[in-house]
Structure formats: structure tokens, C-alpha cells
Structure 1
Amino acid sequence: MLNRLQESDIKLLRVFYAVASCNGFTAAEPVLRMQRPNISAAIKKLEERLDLVLCHRGRGGFQMTKEGEVVFQETKRIFNSFDNFVFNLKSLHDDYSGHITLVMMAGLPLSYHLAVSKAVKSTMKKFNDIHVNIQTRLYNEVEHVALSGECHLVLSTYDMVKPESVTFHPVEVTCSGRLYCAPSHPLAKYREGLPSSVNIEDYPAIGISGLSSANYISEDTRMAIQT
């Protein structure tokens, strides 16, 4: 059982954090820049240190245990505290560095994606030691990650509860997109536009076209994009 956190434990927790965030060993390889056998060995060593089984891996795929979920959430809090400490310390010298985690609601229009791409590129160009981690989450998960402290910024059109612990900033970005639906959908017959008598809210499963997270920023090793 772990009685005191050592530097080697922090390294093992970072491996576990990446594997859990990527939901698998294979997906975590490019993030960690480690091969699967080394990742597996690190997880096994961490489990021995904690005297816990953190995850199951095999033919059934990757799956965290209940104990693993708890360790994952606590690890998030530890690393967020580390990042905030470094970020605040560097800000005293106007030399910002560290990791910024931005969570975007899945399905946002193209204009939002382009605005994020422009802002992230500008930030990373100005500060050479800023690393950006962009994640996409379903609309019903966005509020949870904002309130739990799992990320630094959230971009969403979802009308969240506004607690004092979260600061809201309106994004001055207009958005437009095309509605899409299956050929069998009642609205599919309106190919040239919807008449004024049609109320979209009366119809289920309406989506707005946009880009996948892979199109945010390409060929930048400081980017980590998870979906």
C-alpha cells in the first residue's frame, strides 16, 4: 500500500492518466510516446504500488475498475493543481507555461472550430511552453467537467447552471450551418429551405454540420486531441 507519494509514482500516475483519458493502451501510445509493453509495465507497477487493480485489459477491451475510476479522478485533481501552480508562478514573470485543457461540446458549428483554431495557434505562437489539450464531450457531460475542475476552459452552447465557481464569457462568434436529416425524416422533403410555418423544435434528431476534432490543428506536437 502507498504511504507516501514519490517522484516515480507521479510518473506512473501520468501514464495511467493518459491511458484512462484515451480509453486504452493503444490510443495512449502517441500521447505518451511509449510502446504498449512499456505502458503495460508502468500500469502494472502502479497497481503494485497502490495494491489495487486499476483496469482490465484483454479481448474484451480496456475497462477501468471502480477503484481505477477513483484513482483517475484523484489523479485529475493532482495534475490540475500542478498545472495551476506552474501557470500562476510563471504568470508572475509574464512567462506563461504549462498545460491548458479545453473541453468543447461535440457538434459545435464550423465557425466555432475555426475560432478555436485561430486562438490556440496565436497562444502557442506567443508562448513557446504552452501545451494545449482539446477534448470533445457530449452536451450532457460538459457541465460536469466544468464544475469538477477537470479542465480550464469549456466552449459550449449548452445552457449550464451558473455557480459562483465558474466564470462565463460570451464568445463573439456568429455561427451558421446546414441542417441534415435522414431521407426518411419528415423534414427531408424541404430541400430548398424550410417554410416559415415549420417549427424545428417540433421535430426530433436535428443536427448541425461541423468538423471533427482532428481538424483543429494539424502537425503540432504540442497538441493532444481526444474524442
Structure 2
Amino acid sequence: MLANLSDIDLKMLRIFCSIVEAGGFTAAQVPLNTSLPRLSVTVRDLETRLGYTLCRRGKGGFQLTEQGAQVYAAAQELYADMERFRQRLVLLNAHHPETLRVGSLDNLITLEPAPLPYALSKLREAIPDTRLVLQVLTAEGLEQAVINGDLDLAIGVFDHQLSGLHYLELFGEEQNLYCGRGHPVFERADSTLGDADIFTAQYVDRGLVVENRKPFTFPFNSVSSAASTEAVASLVASGHFIGYLPTHYADVLVARGVLRPIWPARFAYHATCHCITRQGSARSASMEIFIDALLDAAALAS
């Protein structure tokens, strides 16, 4: 039975919550950057500390026990209380600048009207002494950082919605399929391309597209993966791969003759960018201003 709550207990509790939000131990390995045996040991140690079983894992899949579900819910309340406590401490010192920790996917800056710089500018105008911390991470990294409290909010394209996070729709981002100079289809007109030309070509899978989007209906020959727009563009520009890139990002490379879009009428689609925050967390003044500015930028883009 848990007699007191130590830092180690809090760490184990956060790991347990991350496993729940990922949907199981296996899925949690990548965002937590931890091995499956280590995750199992952590949860077993937490169960020992608490005195009851939190989840069941086996052939039937990952399932929370009744106690596990209640512990997860209580943990969300705890994290919200901790955030409110932190905000109160900051407000006690009127001269202490507020810190806003923002996360984003890479290469949003070329999207008009540049929502991230726009929001940063509006916040700076409203609260000049706000200390800004900006990180660029993968979609999974952004979600995990917000859940853990390492980021206050994040902007990105997410292929699912995790419990414990609030997803605010911002704007659409057009994505299209591209190849690079030297690729077998680079010089060919779209009208001459058949399914064999596209679906036998080596495809770079970024893993950011939503499951109901068009690419998931096409049998691409995925032979490589990349975690960022820059990485996808580099592989495609080599002339050996095809892959999806945001149109606003690829336009400059197309203008230089480095890339060409492949059959936009068939393969282009729109992804939706969201702003994510942790459910139940108190919003600071800087968060409110920043999110309002993001919505204003989204309205200008529509």
C-alpha cells in the first residue's frame, strides 16, 4: 500500500499514463524511448507499491482493471492540480516573467500566413517579458511532451487523438506526392503514368497522414521512412524515391527544378493541423493570447 508519494512514484505514474494513452506497452516503446521489458518492470513496481493490479496484458490485448482506470483518472486530476499550483506560484511574484513552452512540427514557416510566427509576434506585443521556449519534434514527440507537461501546447498534424489531450482544429495543409530530378517518372507527363509506375516506385513513409486520407487507399511500395519534412524532401530529391510533402514547402524546390508534383488531381490531399493542450490544465494568460492568435492566423488562411 502506498504510504507516501515520492518522485519515483510520480515518474512511474507518468509512464503508466503514457502506456494507457498509447494503447498498450508495445505502442508506448517509441514515444517513451524505453524497451518493453523496462516498461513491464516499471508498471509491476507501481502495482507493488499500490497493492493492486492496474492492467492486464496478453493475447487479449491491453486492458485496464477498474482500479487502473481510476488511477489514470486520478493522475489526470493530479497533473491539472500541479499545473494550477505552478501558475499560482508564478503569479505570486509579479516580476517573474511567465514562460510559454511551445512545440511544433518542422517547416510550418512557409505556410501562409505563417501561423507560428504570427502567434509569437502577437504574444510578444501583448506580454513582452514572456519567456518563450520553442521545440520542433515529431507528432508523437509533441503529444508525449504535452502529456508529460514538458510543453504547454503544440501544433501539428496528428494521425489519432489521445485521451488526456484537447485537440483544437486550426487550418488545413495541402500535401502532394513528389519525385526528384533523375527519377524515372520525373520527365513524364501525368497522363502517361499508370498504376505500375506509381505503386512499384520506392516510397518514403512519413507516418503523419490521417488514416481516412487518400494515401491510405493506395498500395504504395514503402521501403523507407522519415520523421521530418526535411528528411522526406532529401530522400525524394535524391531521385530514387517518391513521397508526400506539404505543397507550401515543396513549391520552392519545384521552382528550382529539384522536385515535381505527381498527378495532383489524383494524389493531393489536405491534412488538418491542430493545437493540442493537456486536458484539465489551467491556461495562463500567455497561452490564451497565443491560442487566440493561432485561431486568427487560421482564419486568415481560410
Q: TM-score normalized by structure 2?
A: 0.38
Identify the structure with bigger relative contact order (alpha carbons < 8 Å, sequence gap 6+). Answer: 2
Q: TM-score normalized by structure 1?
A: 0.49
